[in-house]
A = this chain, B = another copy of it.
């Protein structure tokens, strides 16, 4: 009899443990949204989830572990956006354009996550490599670029080059807007963004 109850309580305990883990991540992101990455500290997170700091170390190895998990979650979100907008378009060209615009939108609707993921105005954790979620998004771009260039039989290296050309200009443009806010107007950004994307797509078969 007690056995059954114990089993149930064990599950309950594991459930609230997962909840606490999620609470830690939520609290962290909330603090960052309020006062920026600089202001994030273990004790503040603990305060927010109404525990003391050492508790966090039962859920994450250290502070960097929290950051790593947040970048992972960011990549999951971004990937979801990619898939959603890709499904909305037929031609690879339109899909590619839509995905870069989704990338752009993500940077501003999840400003803090973007800063963490791509190191704008932020201490970038070195462990970002070997995140499979990040690779998945990259692969989507590779595939699309390859498809568009199919008649010219592109090498992996050329596809890679096109991808980074895209990434550079869009990340650079986002950087201006996130770090030096207000240097460019919204209409300007839209102009630069569309020009750049379509320009590169047009030049993709060079």
Q: Could you tell me which A residues sit within 8 Å of B by CB distance?
A: 38, 118-124, 128-129, 157, 160-161, 164-165, 167-173, 175-176, 179-180, 183-184, 188, 191-192, 195-196, 199, 203, 206
Contacts of A122 in B (CB 8 A): 123
What is the predominant secondary structure among interface residues of chain A facing chain B? helix
State the number of copies, please.
2
CB distance from A137 to the nearest CB of B (A): 14
Contacts of A179 in B (CB 8 A): 118-119, 124
B168 pairs with A192, CB closer than 8 A = yes
Can you report 21 A-B residue pairs in the complex whose CB atoms are below 8 A from each other?
A119-B179, A120-B120, A121-B123, A128-B180, A129-B180, A160-B184, A160-B188, A161-B192, A164-B192, A165-B195, A165-B196, A167-B176, A168-B170, A168-B172, A168-B175, A168-B176, A168-B196, A170-B172, A171-B172, A195-B206, A199-B199
Interchain CA distance A175-B120 in the complex, whole Å: 9
CB distance from A189 to the nearest CB of B (A): 9
Top 9 nearest A-B pairs by Cβ distance?
A168-B172, A172-B172, A169-B169, A168-B173, A171-B172, A119-B179, A121-B124, A168-B169, A119-B121
Q: Besides the contacts A161-B192, A165-B195, A168-B173, what 12 more A-B pairs have beta carbons closer than 8 Å?
A: A118-B175, A120-B120, A121-B124, A123-B123, A124-B179, A161-B188, A164-B176, A167-B172, A168-B196, A169-B196, A171-B172, A199-B199
